[in-house]
Structure 1
Amino acid sequence: MTTSSLRRIGASILVTATAAAGYVAAPAAVGTPESAGDRGTHQVTTWGASDDIAGGTLNDVTVRNILRTSVGGDDLRIRLSNANGDQPLVFDSVYVGKQQAGAAVVPGSSRQLTFSGRTTVRIPPGAMAVSDPLPGRIGAKESLTVSAHVVGQSGIITAHNRAMQHSYKSTSGDHAADETATAYQTESSAWFFLNAAIVTAPQQVQTVATLGDSITSSVATTIDENRRWPDILANRYAELPEHRRLAISNEGISGNRILNGVAKAGSAGANALSRLDKDVLTKPGVRTVLVLEGINDIYAGATADELIDGYRQLITRVHASGRCIVGGTLTPMGASFVYTPEKEAIRQQLNEFIRTSPELDGVVDFDAATRDPADPTRLKAEYDPGDGLHPNNAGSEAMGNAADLDTLRCS
């Protein structure tokens, strides 16, 4: 990171609008009654996803989401979202446990969340709710279940599509406290209403938000195996001493663009410029934004100048919030439906801007990590799942290993 970048960021950090903090995890009961305390700690997002819209509606069912933490911490809070809803959303029973397998919860690990001391929470359309903390500690890379009973009709469903993780819908009724998988007979590939998991961690631990599209969502990787490149990056940080770890919040939406797009059922989500604040900057502990976006804009006809202007707006707004922003070069698309020589030229122009712009606080060269040396417009054959665009497990591994770990620190 350059000295000018550090001067621009300054010494102060904006406190995010939505506070959060910790969780518990023990072998049979979720959590041990230890508190991190306030001294030398703060709230960080250990897991996150961006809000989109799932089709249909839900009525008197329980959804069981599965998430995996990136860093450990204390006093878990869960952030639930009705950001894209068209009517109030009511949950009267929300439980967190440790995943055993599929929809099954480790026996005895499930604990009920409260919201301002109550077990029922009503979330207005366009709003979110943050739970009270569950006292205790949870480790890094813990797979948790978050089960929530929807009272009545949900209206439009705020969800994260193509999650590369199965979630589960129950038969009719409240099954949030059930630790068996018996009632959860419908599998889904979306996270329902789940926006963030937040813990209290040492002050040095910060969150990196990866803002992107389907390549950041890692849609060509194996479902339920946490093979996304942000997961690989999180694994690397988890191996460091606690005071040197960074949390990762994956804010990719399949099909997303920097410039155009609005949230609607089956959509590619609201464009990055419009969702930056809600999906990234309001998540507790986010100190660095890593951007990898633009291929969908190129496919839709955006020019290099338009994309660079969009990047400059992201840079300006992230810096104005007191945070750092790192650019990720766009990966090859030469064997995909997106490719034409003209569109490849735009990708190259945008990558040149990302590699050389003094406005960014760092670069992760995903292009160099994944391209075929014999034909740099294409993914390496071993990274191509067959569509020429979305890196597979091996390609995702290469992307997750591409970043210098200190590049993502915002000192």
Structure 2
Amino acid sequence: MGMTFTAWRRVGASLLVTAVSAAGLVAAAPDDAATTGGGLVTTWGAADDIAGGSLSDMTVRNVLRTSVGGKDLRIRISNANGDQPLVSDTVYVGRQDSGASVVPGSSRRLTFSGSTTVTIPPGAMAISDPLPGTVPALTSLTVSLHVVGTTGVITAHNRAMQHSYKSTSGDHAADESSTAYQTESSAWFFLNAAIVEAPRPVETVATLGDSITSSVGTTIDTNRRWPDILAARYAQLPEPRRLAISNEGISGNRVLGGIAKAGSAGASALARLDKDVLTKPGVRTVLVLEGINDIYAGATTEQLLAGYRQLIARVHASGRCIVGGTLTPMGSSFVYTPEKEAIRQAVNTFIRTSGEFDGVADFDAATRDPADPSRLAAAYDGGDGLHPNDAGNQAMGDAPDLDSLRCR
């Protein structure tokens, strides 16, 4: 569905960030590369939540996939929800081979303010130092972090639809084989963002949402989330028309209420907007697809619209654009009642017709059953009547008009 954007003043806010590179992963940059960059953009992102338990003297190996390419890769590590300092004496980045294995020769050590050891206070983040080189678009990278001592509360992103790996005891961050990585996990540990300097001005679209944006219901380790589909579509465009994608969905998340705690659905969209979205470099458009969990929890139409209006006001106040995604069908799910369906329809009418969002991505129209619009099309149903499967995520990723997501 096409969109009309309100023109917003471009803000020149930037974050003090630094970078990392890897041989084989990151190719050598030409001598004039420093003069050709278009600014820092978030090529991959995840929203901070909390994982249960603790980690003690082990290495976690996360796998991420870039959206756009660029030089001087930066990795942002988060202890935002921690209750004690997070200490790591070794962090490596490499190019994924398969599973927990790394392409031989691609692994390089990261530093933080010149040191190989980083201590991140509770509630804080750290960004790695830069090394010259380029990272391609749509590339799977490994980020391996050795935890010194025992963690307290773990900042993590649950239900990532991507396996991460936990090692046997000790520092295995530099290992390129998978031998030490005996335990799979469905969470990203401490990993918050990957940032590059784009070769020309590129902006990031942050997709703010719940499990449907995290893409629960897709095949794990295959990057079939609808934001991944969107990123792949942009990668096929000529370079000046590309946008980066940062996926800021949290399973179970709501627009209203809720704080981050173990086993929770993360802090609400209103509570996490600044930290998860607006502080990430290059974010110019927020694409919000969230509200079904609020409806399930008993929110009224008026309460949910008031929450949307606060998101709109805050994004606009930051000089950015915000696009509303219509809520996908839930008619054969545990969420459905006739009364809750009426709220979903009223919310979608607001998103489509109020003009308060800068544009609309009509995910509802892309995924509904024409014979029963309250339900997902059978070919798109992940099995619970609520979460779209791989095909449904393909339809969602194909729905937005690419040029109209750019904030003008």
Same fold (TM over 0.5): yes
1:140-166 alpha-carbon deviations (Å, 9 max, x no partner): 000000000000011100000000000
Q: Deviations over 1:216-255 (max 9, x none)?
A: 0000000000000000000000001112110000000000
Q: Is 1:190 matched with 2:190?
A: no
Q: Which residue matches 1:265?
A: 262
CA gap 1:51/1:410 in 2 versus in 1, 3 angstroms: same
Using the aligned pairs only, state the percent identity.
Answer: 76
The answer as to 2:144 corresponding to 1:137 is: no
- 1:19 aligns to what? 17
Q: Provide the residue aligned with 2:253 in structure 1.
A: 256
Alignment of 1:275 with 2:265, yes or no, is no
Tell whether 2:177 aligns with 1:180: yes
- What residue is the counterpart of 1:215 in the other structure? 212
For residues 21 and 58 of structure 1, the distance between their equivalents in structure 2, rounded to whole angstroms, comes to 26
The corresponding residue for 2:400 is: 403
Work out the CA distance in 1 between the residues paired with 2:23 and 2:394: 28
Matched, 1:152 2:145: no
Check the 8 A contact 1:47/1:69 in 2, yes or no: yes
What do residues 16-54 of structure 1 show as CA deviations (whole Å, max 9, x unaligned)? Answer: 44535564563xx64324463155520000000000000
Report the alpha carbon displacement of residue 134 of structure 1 after superposing the two structures with TM. Answer: 2.5
Residue 373 (1) aligns with residue 370 (2): yes
- Give secondary structure in 2 for the equivalent of 1:288: strand
Judged with a 3 Å threshold, the aligned counterparts in structure 2 of structure 1 residues 152 and 38 are, in CA distance, closer, same or farther, namely farther
Secondary structure of 1:345's counterpart equals helix
8 Å contact 1:25–1:139 — kept in the other structure?
A: no
Uncovered stretches (5+) of structure 1, i.e. residues with no partner: none
CA distance in 2, matches of 1:58, 1:14: 39
Kept in 2, the 8 Å contact 1:23–1:199? The answer is no
Q: Scaled by the length of structure 1, what TM-score is found?
A: 0.96
Residue 32 (structure 1) aligns with: 28
User: Take 1:152 and 1:53, find their aligned partners in 2: how far apart are those partners?
Assistant: 19
Matched letter for residue 27 of structure 2: G
Aligned partner letter, 1:251: E
Q: Is the contact between residue 20 and residue 77 of structure 1 (CA under 8 Å) also seen in structure 2? A: yes
Counterparts in 2 of 1:82-161, with a 5 A limit?
A: 82-161=79-158
2:47 aligned with 1:55: no
Taking the aligned partners of 1:20 and 1:203, their CA distance within structure 2 comes to 18
Per the alignment, residue 159 of structure 2 pairs with 162
Report deviation, 1:321: 0.5
1:316 aligned onto 2:313: yes
Output the CA distance in 2 between the equivalents of 1:390 and 1:203: 36
Secondary structure in structure 1 of the residue aligned to 2:263: coil
One-letter code of the match for 2:332?
A
Comparing 173-182 with 17-26, greater Cα deviation is found at 17-26
- For 1:306, the equivalent position in structure 2 comes to 303
Unpaired runs of at least 5, structure 2? none
Shift of 1:202: 3.4
From 146, 168, 171, the equivalent of 2:168 is: 171
TM-score by length of 2: 0.97
Name the CA shift for 1:86/1:48 in 2 (closer, same or farther; >3 Å). Answer: same
Which residue of 68, 71, 83 corresponds with 2:68? 71
1:134 and 1:201 map into 2 onto residues whose CA distance is 15
Could you say what secondary structure the match of 2:234 adopts?
Answer: helix
Contact 1:71 1:246 in 2 (8 A): yes
SS at match of 2:387: coil
CA RMSD of aligned residues (A): 1.3
Q: CA deviation at 1:264?
A: 0.6
Which stretch shows the higher mean deviation, 70-79 or 133-142?
Answer: 133-142
Q: CA deviation at 1:2?
A: 4.0
Question: Which residue type is aligned with residue 13 of structure 1?
Answer: V
What amino acid sits opposite 2:399 in the alignment? A
Retained in 2: the 8 A contact 1:22–1:137? no
d(CA) in 1 for partners of 2:291, 2:35: 40
Q: CA deviation at 1:15?
A: 1.2
Structure 2 residue matching 1:215: 3-state secondary structure: helix
DSSP-derived class of the 2:181 partner: coil
Residue-pair matches, total? 405
Question: Matches of 1:182 and 1:158 in 2, distance apart?
Answer: 25
Q: Secondary structure at the match of 1:185?
A: strand
- Residue 106 of structure 2 aligns to a residue whose secondary structure is coil
1:296, CA displacement in angstroms? 0.1
Give the counterpart letter for 2:249 in structure 1. Answer: G
Supply the AA of the counterpart residue of 2:13: V
CA distance in 1, matches of 2:397, 2:95: 26
For residues 170 and 256 of structure 2, the distance between their equivalents in structure 1, rounded to whole angstroms, comes to 41
Q: Secondary structure at the match of 1:101?
A: coil
Cα gap change, 1:168/1:118 in structure 2, threshold over 3 Å: closer, same or farther?
same
SS at structure 2 position matched to 1:100: coil
1:344 aligns with 2:341: yes
Using a 3 Å threshold, how does the CA distance of structure 1 residues 25 and 376 change in structure 2: closer, same or farther? farther
Task: Judge conservation of contact 1:70–1:238 (CA < 8 Å) in 2.
Answer: yes
